[in-house]
Structure 1
């Protein structure tokens, strides 16, 4: 990097970061540890929660951020990917990091790394960690990008480690079975520290890693659980010292209850005091871009849900079953996802199918998606998400629900097409 980089805009920094490493992904911690040590990154003043899992990471972060923010704590969140603006990846007390702040820490990282190559994600992870280190926040939430054991955020020893769910995804990197994937995700556990697993039927490897490390494992369905009523739900779990705890009459959340139940157990393990009423309020108001996000335009309800793998598609299909009236699915996917199973789960639940091209690296064509349908199944194909949505926007008398799913790229394009860039 030459000296002119000190005047780079955020857009210029991001373009340069994408070009400076030969691989999009290079798992391993030695390179990023070396740079982090040079930067003297220190999160010892903060409680750190690291969140891994196939699905549910984003909603878990959202719940925790909402609850602890309402409780008066300073909170930093590192998540990925972003939808419209890179700044979404780093939040401090609910506010996206500014362009100027990100540019300044990117310059510090570039100066500290010397000749050590870093991936785009590693630059971003270091930027978040450096910002949180400087601010000495009460709580830091770190979402794993891929796997866990070798992910960049795992250079930090979490006070509480969370595995939300374990399903088949990223098999080229993590393994082709749940046992191998579970071991990778459980790689964020730390010796003699609490670990929380929200999967109702986790692979044995998760508890095996906890036992190997003597980490105290809190397992959904064992140490904690929940029951749902008509308009509320209740939670039962354990304190950090094993005392039975109960919280009743919690409002039904916008995001999955299973992840909310996991969060309540995490809170008991963290050690920062939070009142029950704050928990109820934080659970009830937590939302997340692209997770059953509702946008209403005229008489049409647009539901944005990433749902890019079978586990997430199964949850979405259950939501669709509760809808009345005509339901249209707008689906765009990446070619390396399990397109067949996602389509098999969602297509029978809707009235109309719109498949779209994703014109990005690894993007699948609509025509290829259509090949996973039974012959003679009616489906409309579009070159962009915006083209598909224009049919609804131009029909002001139409009512009903439109599900937009399949990828972060699909949802991002829908947000732009619907005028929700901010």
Structure 2
């Protein structure tokens, strides 16, 4: 296959391994050794967790860049363009650079079959190596211990949260999942846990590895006072911080990372960070007339976070929702069913996509159908257009949520219509 563009390369790497997901480090490590890549000038920060990985990576990156450091950030999935996954100083890398990385990996891999995510991860590492950056911020794709991001030893490991998700891959209980996600830690290196009510397995795994564990609720704390919040440990305290648009528990974890890394964050710099930190798809206000918010919430923990956000609305918003079959749809619906005036549900394509009628059936079981109406559509675009008509007539906001796929479909539609 002739690969003259990024689109060609992406089509090619999608075809190189029979499985979309195959956890394990052997294949990636074999190719990584041939690439002979170095490390950043300062440190590698690797972030795992059920929820909050993206916002934690975003805030860490935004802070480090604001302090004059060069930072490579690797995240997933992307919403519109693959380039979103690999960024330097908050700017997505261009097609040519990513194609160069893929070419180098293709030459190095020989007969080793790599998954799409392994190709992507190695491309990010190759790009960051050649850019000679101060820091690498790496988001784990799935789990931790066996995720391809874990090919690179973390100087600082971060676990944001632990909840039941991807149980077919990670295990069916919190203790097992905690062990998998803590597996990114390294001996004599920092492990920062932002997990509320952490499973015992985090401390156990940390002790087995020999990492330096700092846990929320034990080593550091945060509390809200009115419209500001405070972070403190035994040595340092920051008061009157603005509540960010991104989840507060992740902001508290970010401060811990900066403090325990020895970066001595200044109060003014934290004020600026939390006043301006943002990330696509995390309760993000993207349009007006009507107001539109997008949120990738797709599991119970994220649904509770969204529920708390919705409590601040003066009148009930309208939902545009699409979900995947392999998520805990019932728990998400249970948290949010009565929080919306109307539900506009959309089918999601593919074998993993749930049908709108399935969502509506669950909503009906959780609410009084006389007070909450539901409508089914074949696409997110159709659902949104119908929701928009009601929102304009009744002066309500719209919240598009339920999956990265749902938010991505909205963003592509909005981009095409120049609504953003």
TM-score range, shorter chain: over 0.9
Asked whether the 8 Å contact 2:74–2:139 carries over to 1, the reply is yes
Q: Which of residues 314, 317, 327 is equivalent to 2:304?
A: 314
Shift of 1:165: 0.3
Provide the residue aligned with 2:232 in structure 1: 236
Indicate yes or no: 2:34 matched with 1:34. no
Shift of 1:227: 1.4
Indicate yes or no: 2:130 matched with 1:134. yes
Distance 1:414 1:270, change over 3 A: same
Shift of 1:141: 0.3
Q: Which moved more, 1:142-151 or 1:323-332?
A: 323-332
1:387-406 aligned at under 5 Å gives the runs: 387-394=382-389, 396-406=392-402
Q: Which of residues 225, 228, 249 is equivalent to 2:240?
A: 249
Provide the residue aligned with 2:322 in structure 1: 332
Indicate yes or no: 2:281 matched with 1:286. no
Provide the residue aligned with 1:260 in structure 2: 251
Distance, in Å, in 1 between the alignment partners of 2:93 and 2:103 is: 15
Distance, in Å, in 1 between the alignment partners of 2:331 and 2:296 is: 15
Q: Which moved more, 1:88-97 or 1:250-259?
A: 250-259
Provide the residue aligned with 1:10 in structure 2: 6
Distance, in Å, in 2 between the alignment partners of 1:410 and 1:360 is: 13
Provide the residue aligned with 1:227 in structure 2: 223
Structure 2: give runs of 5+ residues left out of the alignment. none
Provide the residue aligned with 1:90 in structure 2: 86
Asked whether the 8 Å contact 1:67–1:283 carries over to 2, the reply is no
DSSP-derived class of the 1:112 partner? helix
Shift of 1:361: 4.0
Q: Which of residues 136, 154, 158 is equivalent to 2:154?
A: 158
Shift of 1:274: 3.8
Distance, in Å, in 2 between the alignment partners of 1:319 and 1:281 is: 22
Asked whether the 8 Å contact 1:46–1:136 carries over to 2, the reply is no
DSSP-derived class of the 2:219 partner? coil
1:54-203 aligned at under 5 Å gives the runs: 54-203=50-199
Shift of 1:391: 2.0
Q: Which of residues 49, 52, 56 is equivalent to 2:48?
A: 52
Shift of 1:122: 0.3
Provide the residue aligned with 1:241 in structure 2: none
Distance, in Å, in 1 between the alignment partners of 2:351 and 2:23 is: 20
Q: Which of residues 302, 317, 333 is equivalent to 2:292?
A: 302
Distance, in Å, in 2 between the alignment partners of 1:421 and 1:84 is: 15
Asked whether the 8 Å contact 2:344–2:387 carries over to 1, the reply is no
Shift of 1:174: 0.2
DSSP-derived class of the 1:404 partner? strand
Shift of 1:352: 0.8
Structure 1: give runs of 5+ residues left out of the alignment. 239-243
TM-score by length of 2: 0.95
1:404-415 aligned at under 5 Å gives the runs: 404-415=400-411
Provide the residue aligned with 2:378 in structure 1: 383
Q: Deviations 1:339-369 (Å, cap 9, x if unpaired)?
A: 1111111111111111110013411111122
Cα RMSD after superposing both structures: 1.6
Distance, in Å, in 2 between the alignment partners of 1:326 and 1:250 is: 29
Asked whether the 8 Å contact 1:187–1:209 carries over to 2, the reply is yes
DSSP-derived class of the 1:134 partner? helix
Q: Which moved more, 1:363-372 or 1:128-137?
A: 363-372
Distance 1:23 1:109, change over 3 A: same
DSSP-derived class of the 1:248 partner? strand
Provide the residue aligned with 1:365 in structure 2: 355
DSSP-derived class of the 2:46 partner? strand
Q: Deviations 1:275-321 (Å, cap 9, x if unpaired)?
A: 331122122211010000012332x1111111110110011011112
Asked whether the 8 Å contact 2:228–2:242 carries over to 1, the reply is yes
Provide the residue aligned with 2:16 in structure 1: 20
Shift of 1:392: 4.0
Q: Deviations 1:367-411 (Å, cap 9, x if unpaired)?
A: 122222335833100111110111244564441111111100000
Asked whether the 8 Å contact 1:58–1:143 carries over to 2, the reply is yes
Indicate yes or no: 2:265 matched with 1:269. no
